[in-house]
Amino acid sequence: MSTKPPPGSAPEVGPADGFDPGSAYRRSPSVALRPEPFGALVYHFGTRKLSFLKTPQLVDVVRNLERYPDVHSAIAAAGVEEAQRAAYLKAVAGLAASGTIEPRP
């Protein structure tokens, strides 16, 4: 029996990856967002890395993480449809891995 997700489905993310969507996060203080029509540019002053948030909803999630008790709540509050939530969790996990967001103290 395989434990791999079915083809075409988003892989699950969680504590084993170092990212726990059930925990509280915030945008890193070293990160600035610049709104753009497609979403936002993200600049990390510590790494000097420039990246993109490709949807306005993802920008809302990142901007408002600090208002919610966990990532799931921030994604729901941004109006992300249930069918898209796994993709958003994967995107937010990537932002955690890159240092754009971090666990709240």
**25 within 8 A of 104, measured Cβ to Cβ:** yes
The predicted structure's pLDDT at residue 18: 87
Ramachandran class of 19: left when φ > 0, alpha when ψ lies in -120 to 50, beta otherwise = beta
The predicted structure's pLDDT at residue 56: 96
Q: What is the mean pLDDT of each run of 10 residues along the chain (105 residues)?
A: 40 64 97 96 95 96 97 97 97 96 95
Is 0.75 topped by the overall pTM?
yes
The span from the CA of 99 to the CA of 1, in Å, is: 35
